[in-house]
Amino acid sequence: MTSSKDVARRAGVSQTTVSRVLNGAAGVKPKTREKVLRAIEELNYRPNLIARSLVTKSTKTIALVSGSVLNPFYAETIDSIIQHASQKGYNITVSFDEKLTSTWLETAIDSSVDGILLSSLKLDDPVFEDLQLSGVPYMLFNRKLQTGGNYVVMDNVLAGGLVARHLLDLGHTRIAYISKSGNISTFKERYHGFTQAVLNSGNSVDADLVYFLDQPEVEAAKAVWKIMNGPKPATAILCANDSIALLCMNALLSIGLKIPEQVSLAGIDNIKLASHRAIKLTSVGHEKSAMGVMAVESLIDMIEGRESTSTPKQIVLMPELVVRSTTCKARS
């Protein structure tokens, strides 16, 4: 069984540092925190949650299930969640899973966590019913379900539409779209916003230029090659998140294409790396720390009785388009 000592060895830090990251303690450098979180994911480490206090009936512990920390969006959001929770006196235990399992949920509930934060649910996830029946306060972030529930999300339909209209306004009509596959609200809504914008402009969505990938880190380069080597190559590529856009950027440069002179490229999420001077990716997003802080703040309000758990708490953040150097007018 993996121990915190194994995590410390993999991350190149002390066990004390691992403990401080797991407990959300202040004073850990962001780069160090990210190394520890990455080691936790790679080793599939599942720390035991602290025992419930017999006096207060509270563990002051929140369980968080997040998407992969390899996606910079989650690395940034988780950091803000841990920092804010720590300021409020709560510890965060982090698990990295693309899919929430009943086993994980049962373990969290049996360990008497005070609340649960989630970003790993599908639109019709069957585990959600068990979560609601448990009575444990919860908040979703960057995800929502068909049945509603508590969540903090960006207006993903608007986000997809904003960046699509930007490309259309630049004269692009052959716009490729690359997304991660799965029945997930974030990706479905962004694609809907994209298609809506394209159709409203009087153009059509070319099915040959649309790719939904199970493993973007493995499949993105092949998708880009097909898009750019077909009989009618795309003049722009829109990716469902910045993580995929960075993979596509590398693929485009690897086959000798210039961005944006030969093909424009845009993403969604506006991660910090998008603004790097060597990248300057056009993107649309919101403040990630705001989403994380709002999610954990709302959850703590539920835990401490300041918010009702009977009325759904639903927060929708407005996206903003940030135009950088990877998009330009369509070539003639």
**With the CA atoms of 291, 296, 301 and 303 taken in that order, what torsion angle do they form, in degrees rounded to the nearest 10?**
150
Report CA 7 to chain centroid distance, whole Å.
23
- The DSSP line for 112-158 is T-SEEEE----TT-THHHHHHHHT--EEEES--BTTB-SEEEE-HHH
State the DSSP H helix or E strand holding residue 322, giving kind and residue range, or none if neither.
strand 320-322
Q: Reduced to 3 states, what is the DSSP secondary structure of residue 167?
A: helix
Torsional sign, CA 54, 24, 38, 270: positive
The predicted structure's pLDDT at residue 48: 52
Q: Which domains does the chain have, with CATH numbers?
A: 4-154+287-317 (3.40.50.2300), 156-285 (3.40.50.2300)
Q: Is the peptide bond before 260 cis (omega within 30 degrees of 0)?
A: yes
**Cβ partners under 8 Å of residue 172, min gap 6:** 235, 236, 264, 330
Token reading at 149:
């529930």
The predicted structure's pLDDT at residue 122: 87
Tens of pLDDT along the chain (332 residues) come to 677 788 889 999 987 788 677 766 667 888 898 898 888 888 888 655 443 333 345 789 999 998 887 889 998 899 999 999 999 999 999 888 777 777 888 788 777 799 999 998 888 888 888 888 778 899 999 999 988 899 999 999 999 999 999 999 999 999 999 999 989 999 999 999 999 999 999 999 999 999 999 999 999 999 999 999 999 999 999 999 999 999 999 999 999 999 999 999 999 999 999 999 999 999 999 877 789 999 999 999 999 998 888 889 999 999 999 999 999 999 87
Cα angle 188, 190, 196 (rounded to 5 degrees) comes to 100
Residue of 111, 70, 83 whose CA lies nearest to 296: 83
Residues in the chain: 332
The predicted structure's pLDDT at residue 247: 98
Cα–Cα distance for residue pair 189/146, rounded to 1 Å: 12
Residue of 324, 175, 165 whose CA lies nearest to 235: 175
Pairing of strands 151-154, 138-141: parallel
Pinpoint the alpha helices (H) of the chain: 4-11, 15-22, 30-43, 72-87, 102-110, 127-134, 156-169, 185-200, 216-228, 242-254, 288-303
CB count, 10 Å around CB of 51?
Answer: 10
The pTM of this model reads 0.81
pLDDT in tens, 156-207: 999 999 999 999 999 999 999 999 998 999 999 999 999 999 999 999 999 9
